[in-house]
Amino acid sequence: MTAAERLYYNDSFLLSFTATVTDIREYSREDRQSLWQVALDRSAFYPTSGGQPFDLGLLRATSRLGNVLELPVVAVEEDEQGEVWHFVQKPLIAGTQIEGLVDWPRRLDHMQQHSGQHLLSAVFAHELEAHTLSFHLGEEVSTIDLDCGPLDEATLVRIERIANEQIAGNRPVRVRQLPRSEAEAMLASGELRKLPERDGELRIIEIEDYDRNACGGTHVNTTGQIGSLLIRGTEKVSRGVRVSYVCGLRAVMAARQDAAILASTAAQLSVGVPDVPASVERLRSEAKAAVKVNQKLREELAHYQATQIAVEVPIQNGLRWVDRVMNDRDADYLRMLASSLAAAVPRTIALLSCEQGQTVRLVLARSLDLDLHCGDVMKAVLARFGLRGGGSPGLAQTDVPLARLAEVRAALQTDLRRLPEV
């Protein structure tokens, strides 16, 4: 079967075309609903490739009686033989004449993001000698991976400014078909950034006097049609740095969303938008101070409760056994209380617990005058139940499944009371 003529190669703005069905096959069937793949002799639908997602749209067929069948195209893929398959939910007969209609908002968005990638990659190459290793056009943001180190904010602002200056310059974006030998010569001379590993003619996308790159994607006719470019952030990846960006209408929507979030934040803080950073910094400082005060109060409460428990629980047979369930407290408070008990009163062993959803925090502590290794005791008991945990001589803690709490707690109590005088 001859591969389909790819109409978008020469005209990315072509949104309707006529074609003939050359082949059809059932791709999948689920709950009596089939998904079909349709091949055409020519197509303007872009298949997923090179980091760019597929086009959407319609295939429209008219019967001899004038009945119109419209089939939404839900995906477009290229197979290993280079054939383009259009995914639809009803079959068409080979030889059927169809009209193809490409979803324009999606096509325009992909053109803006992909052309923006070419431009942004070129700016990074020109300004920083940072080369693009990969590209991904996502549903919300697009990314390029660069072979460079971390990028500071000032550098990103400069790169973004230069990219938007090139957009405002409205440079022509042209498509050229070149023999591989000529393309390789251009690569060797530095006129091309990279070449794919394929034979035959290569499709070259050229931003006039700024960039040339081999690419099979859909692109704008001038840089001005990219609209704008907004860098959203960076992150470290294994091979370098990943830069996230949006172009065109996505950049407008992103700026509008950012403005709405900022306005909402300002309203909640009862300040003007310019005063939001200072207000947030003030709240952060106040929150840090509140955390310190709260921690100090919790420590004082733990010390007070430890003293109260020492009064309530007397020493019997040479030891004070404190065994309490405290589900109204959190794990951090349990540790503070256990430490306060151990430090405040002599001859004391404390076994405290609190629920944390489906687990329970167990804390075991002893006063400094006792010859007992809490970590070893905890570890030995947990091992009998296939659990793990331990700690230091003075304090051990672990999380136990709620369903195992009763038996683990009973085993700890038994083992502790069997210990020789400590």
CATH code: domain of residue 55: 2.40.30.130
* Banded pLDDT at 421 (limits 50, 70, 90): low
Shared domain for 142 and 83, answered yes or no, is no
pTM to 2 decimal places: 0.76
Shared domain for 196 and 342, answered yes or no, is no
Strand positions, DSSP E, 308-385: 320-325, 348-356, 359-366
In a domain, 285, yes or no: no
pLDDT value of position 90: 92
Among 173-182, 198-207, 220-229, 378-387, name the most confident range. Answer: 220-229
Mean pLDDT (the chain, rounded): 92
Spatial CA neighbour of 206 closest among 197, 195, 219: 219
pLDDT value of position 136: 95
Among 98-112, 193-207, 381-395, name the most confident range. Answer: 98-112
In a domain, 78, yes or no: yes
In a domain, 292, yes or no: no
What percent of the chain is modeled with pLDDT above 70?
99
**Which domain-ending residue is among 85, 102, 119?**
102
Spatial CA neighbour of 220 closest among 363, 306, 323, 115: 115
Using the structure block, give the residue that is written with the tokens 């859909």: 218
CATH code of the domain in which 191 resides: 3.30.980.10
In a domain, 272, yes or no: no
Span 214-221, mean pLDDT? 94
Q: Structural domain of residue 82, as residue ranges?
A: 5-102
**Which domain-ending residue is among 102, 132, 158?**
102
pLDDT value of position 1: 57
> Are 175 and 217 in contact, with CB atoms under 8 Å apart?
no
Count of domains for the chain: 3
Shared domain for 86 and 119, answered yes or no, is no
* Banded pLDDT at 4 (limits 50, 70, 90): confident
More confident residue, 55 or 310: 55
Digit-coded pLDDT (tens) for 280-298: 999 999 999 999 999 999 9
Examine the pLDDT at 5 and tell me if it is beyond 90.
Answer: yes
* Banded pLDDT at 241 (limits 50, 70, 90): very high
Shared domain for 330 and 261, answered yes or no, is no
pLDDT value of position 201: 84
| Cα 148 from Cα 129, distance rounded (Å) | 9
Which residues, 6+ apart, have CB-to-CB distance to 268 below 8 Å?
A: none
> Are 185 and 280 in contact, with CB atoms under 8 Å apart?
no
In a domain, 390, yes or no: yes
